[in-house]
Structure 1
Amino acid sequence: MAGRIRAFDWSQTELGPLDTWPASLCSTVQLMLASPLPMVMLWGRSGYMIYNDAYSIFAGGRHPYLLGAPVEMGWPEVAEFNRHVVDTCLAGGTLSYRNKVLELLRDGVPEDVWLDLYYSPVANDDGKPAGVMAMVVETTEHVISERRRQAAEDAYRADNERVRLALNAGALLGSFVWDIKGNVLSGDERFARTFSYPPEQNLADLPTDIAEAQIHPDDRSWVQEQVNQSVETGDPFNAEYRVLRPDGSYLWVQASGCCEFNEQGEPFRFPGVLIDIHERKTAEESLLKFTRNLEQRVADEVEARLAAEEQLRQSQKLEAIGGLTGGVAHDFNNLLQVIAGNLHLLARHEPDNANVQRRVSASIAAVERGAKLSSQLLAFARRQPLSPAVCDPRQIFDGLGELLQRALGETIQINVSAPDDSWRLYVDRNQLENAILNLAINARDAMQGEGTIGLSAENIVLDRKFCAGKGITAGDYIRVSVTDTGVGMSPQVLAQAFEPFFTTKADGQGTGLGLSMVFGFVKQSGGHIEMSSVVGEGTRVQLYFPRSLRAMPSETPNPDAQQRGGHETILVVEDNEAVRVSAVELLSEEGYQVLTAGNADVAMQMLLDGVTVDLIFTDVVMPGLIKSSDLAAWAKVQTPPVAVLFTSGHTRDIISRNHQLSPDTYLLSKPYGPEALTQMVRTVLNG
């Protein structure tokens, strides 16, 4: 770190060139660099950061960009906390925290981190506080370890309590003593009860014939043989056998004891205990029954594994293709946004030029077709941002009925079925409707425009055998099926059906992305898709979605249409200059005051310098130290919070989990037009 500090251009900060630093600062930095503990110096009111090697490890991916940066910009998610630290220490105070929990962004994801923090002022050459020395020791592992240790101790105490209760309740069925010389059997009440002796029977004189009669006929000779061997040799007695119960069933017990001999070496006494082993024997019998068909089970497992490996290979192939197509779609969307934005601006600037309007309309239509193609690519790549909600399959079918009939034509009959007690599912309803529509159109084409399409939903429970190798877990699912009676597919065609750009249609009649999009959407929604087909008989596509136990959302009336423009101030954060310029012009024409920033670093500095805005309109993926998600996290904790609207051609999970947006996250996908931009901006501002 000493080398990095010397190489850094400090003249751009309030500290000035390194050779002008006060002696007090230089000596403090030297002490800090020699320390093995993570330490960071926050110098001046802005808290410019100078730190040692141990702190660079704690900083992770933010190193070396934190060096020389103001602390509030380097750690925007805890800017308020650090502001308090700097103000307190520059006033001469000290602060310390033990196992302080802070929510820090690591790889763009909020994460609780526990820290021991010690802050003290550092004086300049005049003896006045000019900086803050911070010692930062992460204790996350220690805190989690302590919690696990406490949980283990609690579990240990609970186990001890269970053991104590078990001993009190006990599996012990009683004890007995056989007086060999007098052939007299005695025992306690539990022993007598186990062998169904009469309640009034003297416990010191228990007839042996009653006990022998209660033993299962198949076990009597075995028990007697064990008794004789123990009496003759002195070996410990251990015999497992069945005892008749009053209800006619048998109880498995284990009798254990040892023959005692007198001084003359003659057997005279045989004490022992009786233990309940019924549960263990029942389990052993079940296991034996289970393993009798071991060879068949092994064969089934081998077959299932081979099928799972084939599923995995197919999934890996589609995943690799998806990664490529997702990246292409992202760059493609940026290009389309530049084209679309300028076309819309051109149309507005030449309202009376018929030739311009005609050509712009044709070009915008082409852009829309390109956007649809890009959307299908992102759907297959599982990179499209989803907005899932709880819904009922019957509602989806009811809403699709008219649209399907209009899209398929009057010569196609649609049979719809769904149970009255249909389970709920948690999916993006619009995407599911698009998937069903795609499958229905494929079915219509396979039947050459005439026939019957079946659309059904059913509740189904999937076992582990079915789920093996499919990327889903056993449990409750809703199966949505689309069937047709068309020409069907050969096994070779069926094997490639989900691959992007694969189609059996004539040139110009299909992109080969319909089934790919359905495949990607189902997988991204945590489900599974299967297709079966027989040449000349038709095709069945089955979509499996996990059952949701969440409550259905309450119906709310649609809000009134929002006004087109406004007077608010909007900060546009976009690294692509062409996209940024077109967005600024579109917003300016609607009456908004527009500020710009080339990335989130510049935007954050503007905001920390006091620039006031009503909305941050930011691209998701940009270069720089600060991510768009960091910018949004800072905006959320302001008073009042600053509204944020994201835009992207491909979110890369920076603002989403598995590309599923949270309800409070607003995203405008590229390419967008003026109407979509205006409507979304007003929605976010008014929300």
Structure 2
Amino acid sequence: MQFLDDSHGCAGWNGEMAGRIRAFDWSVTELGNMDTWPASLCSAVQLMLASPLPMVMLWGRPGYMIYNDAYSTFAGGRHPYLLGSPVELGWPEVADFNRHVVDTCLAGGTLSYRNKVLELLRDGIPEDVWLDLYYSPVADDDGKPAGVMAMVVETTEHVISERRRQAAEDAYHADNERVRLALNAGALLGSFVWDIKGNALSGDERFARTFSYPPEQNLADLPTDIAEARIHPDDRSWVQEQINQSVETGEPFNAEYRVLRPDGSYLWVQASGGCEFNEQGEPFRFPGVLIDIHERKTAEESLLKFTRNLEQRVADEVEARLAAEEQLRQSQKLEAIGGLTGGVAHDFNNLLQVIAGNLHLLARHEPDNANVQRRVSASIAAVERGAKLSSQLLAFARRQPLSPAVCDLRQVFDGLGELLQRALGETIQIDVTAAEALWHVYVDRNQLENAVLNLAINARDAMKGEGTIDLSAENIALDSKFCAGKGIVAGDYVCVAVADRGVGMSPQVLAQAFEPFFTTKPDGQGTGLGLSMVFGFVKQSGGHIEISSVVGQGTRVQLYFPRSLRPILSETTRHDPQQRGGHETILVVEDNEAVRSSAVELLREEGYQVLTAANGDVAMQMLLEGAVVDLIFTDVVMPGLIKSSDLAAWAKMQTPPLAVLFTSGHTRDIISRNHQLSPGTYLLSKPYGPEALTQMVRTVLNG
């Protein structure tokens, strides 16, 4: 870029930020090249650059950011990317606040805030920041407000320091209150004052008597060595440490220690007080009181002795803790494997989406070619098998999107009977038992049925296709001892159990039963994901799963689901007609180019107008610049400052709200809590076909 000559009002700036401002390509913004900037803007920027305080100029309606060196330090990791950026894009986490500032000042108003707290992501981590903020309009050459000058003074350290000071003051007042109560209770053993400058100790008669000073001792001049000698040898260094800390920091002094009595026994006392400082901040006086706590400490020691005698109880507690720690280690191991498999499934689904999208497009383009149709059908079937495998991995990793509802398990069992009999064959008998007053549970019914079906198939295989499978459900109250280390809390649960009388499992096999891809079946007869999927579903639903098995006697699997007190909502069945495409405009936001291309072509074939963005930053820039769309179709996880959740939050604030459809290989926590989709959130899981895409797009648009 060409540098300005000295005759221009923007020349002569000094400092690092001055160089960055000159080097920036302003032609990409509404400000245009610097040689066209109005004189008022140049003067304001020169004033700002000369200021030692953090200042930033927000120019124009978008609020293009120009700031000084002090503000670049305040911005942290956001610098230098904020320069030239619209303020709402530069600080998306406080976009609404900054929009109000720009609108107010461009209308001629001013704003100021004292110790305003904002949650900012300066270095990628949310932090509460307290600020003194001052905003005033800046006029252009015609005298009309054209920008906002902001002064930003961070007061975080001052606010935190003031809170700590207040806490110390509150603690000091609490100590005084304890002293008052002690006086009223008659437990006071005396008061004392230590003159720090003269190193002189004085006290009242009771204080002198407690430390066994001679009766004729002058109370205004008590030798400190006598008091120190009466403190128990094991307590002296700790008491001195507490005194030093109070003198150095001003914190209240509280110390419990033992004082030697004339009969050779020791008396437990509590000394409370605090150091006083003069106007120069120097410690000069240390008043305090002595309180009798002997009865309390004696009771504590008696209780301690009693507890130490309960050896069997301690042994039981240790054993229970070891068992809980072992369960915790197993849970952490499965959690680590789950994180890995979830990530693999996510990338695998992106690959499947590219393959599936292009296969569907190929089938549409070659409708009369029988060979192409046959091979495409076979390939799509393979993609669907891969998607099922990926779904099982996500279930184990606890990253499958769930749609939970309040369920009556008796109704679920009634509907499962025919399905189980058809899947297991006529040589298997199913014995179903459910308690009459069975509690409700809050689960995804489809996933629960899949879990029971998986367990029943395992039971059938363990009995070599013949025998009886017991399916039961009962109410149960779990105590804290049972729940320790299992990731659940004590309370009411419903236990669903599937039991067989098959070959059973050895302890070694049982220890690996939940691990993905572990199977005892011959090659080609099992993926080893059945129990893993059940484990992930139960944990994701807030429950717990246990297996007990004896070789030669059979296996019992128990699923514990928390009791739900919510009522069952009446179900209404709605049959939507086949929904085709439309004429609306859709913004596709996807960082994977191959996935983005196939989605765009599928949507355009349905008649939609399509805009594209490679990430959330580009998408937000397009929307802020006025791109008009009817639907944002966005991947959940993308690089850049602007996340998919930021786009959705911005869309919700528009009038009328803008529709958003998410897509992902798995949901992650960015749009769901524990991967249970919040109301009003739409998700199309990868891989998807044209029909699923068309139907979901129309559903969201019509909604």
TM range (shorter): 0.7 to 0.9
SS in 2 for 1:106: coil
Offset of residue 655 of structure 1:
1.4
Is the deviation greater in 211-220 or in 67-76? 211-220
Deviations 1:243-286 (A, max 9, x none): 99999999999999999999999999999999999999999999
Deviations 1:432-470 (A, max 9, x none): 222222111111111111112122222222222222222
Q: Is the 8 A contact 1:454 1:484 kept in 2?
A: yes
Deviations 1:197-238 (A, max 9, x none): 999999999999999999999999999999999999999999
Distance 1:235 1:531, change over 3 A: closer
Indicate the percent of aligned positions where both proteins have the same amino acid: 92
Distance 1:208 1:665, change over 3 A: closer
Offset of residue 365 of structure 1:
0.6
Aligned to 2:521: 505
Distance 1:3 1:184, change over 3 A: closer
Offset of residue 5 of structure 1:
4.5
Q: Is the 8 A contact 1:76 1:634 kept in 2?
A: no
Offset of residue 679 of structure 1:
1.6
**TM-score, normalised to structure 2's length?**
0.73
Offset of residue 172 of structure 1:
19
Aligned to 2:453: 437
Offset of residue 550 of structure 1:
3.0
SS in 2 for 1:115: strand
The 5-angstrom pairing of residues 354-369 of structure 1 reads 354-369=370-385
Is the deviation greater in 159-168 or in 44-53? 159-168
Distance 1:285 1:151, change over 3 A: closer
Offset of residue 553 of structure 1:
2.7
Distance 1:37 1:429, change over 3 A: farther
Aligned to 2:606: 590
Offset of residue 554 of structure 1:
3.5
The 5-angstrom pairing of residues 171-210 of structure 1 reads none
Deviations 1:374-427 (A, max 9, x none): 111122222222233222322332332222221111221222222233222222
Q: Is the 8 A contact 1:105 1:630 kept in 2?
A: no
Deviations 1:159-216 (A, max 9, x none): 9999999999999999999999999999999999999999999999999999999999
Q: Is the 8 A contact 1:483 1:540 kept in 2?
A: yes
The correspondence for 2:185, drawn from 162, 165, 169, is 169
Aligned to 1:148: 164
Is the deviation greater in 664-673 or in 401-410? 401-410
Offset of residue 339 of structure 1:
0.6
Q: Is the 8 A contact 1:573 1:600 kept in 2?
A: yes
Distance 1:441 1:13, change over 3 A: same
Q: Is the 8 A contact 2:493 2:562 kept in 1?
A: yes
Q: In 2, Cα distance between the equivalents of 1:265 and 1:151? A: 19
SS in 1 for 2:677: coil
Distance 1:589 1:152, change over 3 A: farther
Distance 1:129 1:258, change over 3 A: closer
Q: Is the 8 A contact 2:78 2:123 kept in 1?
A: no
Higher gyration radius (CA): 1
Distance 1:571 1:110, change over 3 A: farther
SS in 1 for 2:670: coil
Q: Is the 8 A contact 2:77 2:124 kept in 1?
A: no
Offset of residue 593 of structure 1:
2.3
Offset of residue 86 of structure 1:
2.3
**TM-score, normalised to structure 1's length?**
0.75
SS in 1 for 2:255: strand
Q: Is the 8 A contact 2:668 2:675 kept in 1?
A: yes
Q: In 1, Cα distance between the equivalents of 2:160 and 2:245? A: 58
Distance 1:45 1:455, change over 3 A: same
SS in 2 for 1:639: coil
Distance 1:155 1:329, change over 3 A: same
Distance 1:3 1:500, change over 3 A: farther
Q: In 1, Cα distance between the equivalents of 2:340 and 2:400? A: 14
Distance 1:361 1:179, change over 3 A: closer
Q: Is the 8 A contact 1:387 1:662 kept in 2?
A: no
Q: In 2, Cα distance between the equivalents of 1:461 and 1:275? A: 47
SS in 2 for 1:109: coil
Offset of residue 312 of structure 1:
2.6
Distance 1:231 1:600, change over 3 A: closer
Q: Is the 8 A contact 2:171 2:252 kept in 1?
A: no
Deviations 1:514-563 (A, max 9, x none): 11122222222222221111111111112222223333333333253352
Q: In 2, Cα distance between the equivalents of 1:229 and 1:64? A: 44
Q: Is the 8 A contact 2:600 2:610 kept in 1?
A: yes
Q: Is the 8 A contact 2:354 2:595 kept in 1?
A: yes
Offset of residue 627 of structure 1:
1.0
Residue 565 of structure 2 corresponds to residue 549 of structure 1: yes
Distance 1:583 1:202, change over 3 A: closer
Q: Is the 8 A contact 1:108 1:630 kept in 2?
A: no
Deviations 1:33-90 (A, max 9, x none): 6667654321223211134566567656655433321123334565555344324323
Offset of residue 636 of structure 1:
0.4
Offset of residue 610 of structure 1:
2.1
Distance 1:663 1:169, change over 3 A: farther
Is the deviation greater in 136-145 or in 402-411? 136-145
Distance 1:615 1:115, change over 3 A: farther
Distance 1:382 1:194, change over 3 A: same
Is the deviation greater in 604-613 or in 282-291? 282-291
Deviations 1:312-361 (A, max 9, x none): 32222222222222221111111100110111111222222221111111
Is the deviation greater in 214-223 or in 309-318? 214-223
Q: Is the 8 A contact 2:58 2:64 kept in 1?
A: yes
Residue 435 of structure 2 corresponds to residue 419 of structure 1: yes
Q: Is the 8 A contact 1:108 1:629 kept in 2?
A: no
The correspondence for 1:659, drawn from 640, 651, 675, is 675
Q: Is the 8 A contact 2:179 2:289 kept in 1?
A: no
Distance 1:173 1:649, change over 3 A: same
Offset of residue 609 of structure 1:
2.3
More relative contact order in 1 or in 2 (CA 8 Å, sep 6+)?
Answer: 1
Q: Is the 8 A contact 1:72 1:83 kept in 2?
A: yes
The 5-angstrom pairing of residues 72-111 of structure 1 reads 72-76=88-92, 79=95, 81-97=97-113
Distance 1:495 1:480, change over 3 A: same
Q: Is the 8 A contact 1:319 1:381 kept in 2?
A: yes
Deviations 1:618-639 (A, max 9, x none): 1111222211111111110111
Q: In 1, Cα distance between the equivalents of 2:85 and 2:668? A: 27
Q: Is the 8 A contact 2:517 2:529 kept in 1?
A: yes
Q: In 2, Cα distance between the equivalents of 1:134 and 1:489? A: 70
Gaps of at least 5 residues in structure 2 are: 1-16
Is the deviation greater in 567-576 or in 362-371? 567-576
Is the deviation greater in 71-80 or in 357-366? 71-80
Gaps of at least 5 residues in structure 1 are: none
Is the deviation greater in 188-197 or in 575-584? 188-197
Q: In 1, Cα distance between the equivalents of 2:184 and 2:135? A: 57
Distance 1:188 1:327, change over 3 A: closer
Is the deviation greater in 502-511 or in 116-125? 116-125
Residue 58 of structure 2 corresponds to residue 42 of structure 1: yes
Distance 1:414 1:107, change over 3 A: farther
SS in 2 for 1:541: strand
RMSD: 11.1
Residue 410 of structure 2 corresponds to residue 394 of structure 1: yes
Distance 1:224 1:42, change over 3 A: closer
Q: Is the 8 A contact 1:78 1:104 kept in 2?
A: yes
SS in 1 for 2:262: coil
SS in 1 for 2:646: helix
Q: In 2, Cα distance between the equivalents of 1:12 and 1:237? A: 63
Q: In 2, Cα distance between the equivalents of 1:400 and 1:453? A: 13
Offset of residue 503 of structure 1:
0.8
Distance 1:56 1:402, change over 3 A: farther
Q: In 1, Cα distance between the equivalents of 2:120 and 2:192? A: 68
Q: In 2, Cα distance between the equivalents of 1:60 and 1:611? A: 31
Deviations 1:478-507 (A, max 9, x none): 222221111111111111111111111111
Is the deviation greater in 13-22 or in 583-592? 13-22
